[in-house]
Chains A and B, each alone.
Chain A
Amino acid sequence: MSTTPPARVLWAGLHLLDRQLVDREGRMAGVVDDLELTPSEDPGRLYVTALISGPGGLSRRLGRTGFGDWMRRVHAFVSPGDDDPARIPFNVVSDIGDHITLGADRESTGTASAERWARDHIVAHIPGSGHAPE
């Protein structure tokens, strides 16, 4: 007789918020700043449907403080045209552990754009930076 294993339990703040996102190539792809929760057709049920990543998501979590607004303005300056925060549908997530693995490239998820800007415009001009591991 087979028994169904108990469903996995996660704590949103402990296991998901601020976790590192890693894309399918193993590259850093930002962190989780918030979660999108969507009611289902069953009354009273709410599911996690997307991860939110980016200064816009963090500033909302911080309560739109001056620091949060400043972060959003900096992000808009260095990454004009990027959606902020990025919304990553949960069906792109392939694993949750000490980091969160995505089944997509970070370019397609639109995350970590500020880090990419810093890499291309600042770090790339530092002698020897071409040999630096990510």
Chain B
Amino acid sequence: MLLSDVLHSRVFDVDGVDLGSVDDVRLVQDGPLLLPFGAALRVDGLVVGHAAVGTRLGYHRGDVTGPWLLKTIFSALERRAHYVPWDQVESYEEGEVRIRSRGSELGPPPA
């Protein structure tokens, strides 16, 4: 599969509630060794919400620290986003991701 198969897909929880679209995918470098790069990148989870603009500009998850007003606005948007650990993904197809848990059980994206 390709990243584009899940990126921007609509996400529905176990009750069929639309949680928003996939804004980004968190990768953790703790997989099998791939020399010369190092450990492979593992898909850890999906950020679901409406913070795409701030994300693409590098606010909150990136290293951008200012201007403070934009940082504050985009951080607030990010806190309203959901984080879906990859092991909660039930299926993905045709622009839809279905997960095993309820939206209310999901936390915010990790920093």
> Measuring CB to CB, which residues of chain A are less than 8 angstroms from any residue of chain B?
7-14, 16-17, 34-38, 40, 44-49, 52, 57, 60-61, 90-91, 93-96, 103
Contacts and interface: CB of A to CB of B under 8 A. Distances in A.
A57 B7 CA distance: 14
Nearest to B42: A47
Given A11-B26, A45-B42, A94-B37, A61 B86 contact: no
A11 B22 CA distance: 12
A48 B23 contact: no
Contact of B28 (A8, A37, A95): A8
B100 to A, nearest CB: 11
Nearest to B1: A37
B37 A44 contact: no
Contacts of B86: 44-46
Contacts of B18: none
A93 B47 CA distance: 25
Given A12-B24, A47-B40, A90-B40, A37 B29 contact: no
Given A7-B30, A34-B4, A48 B41 contact: yes
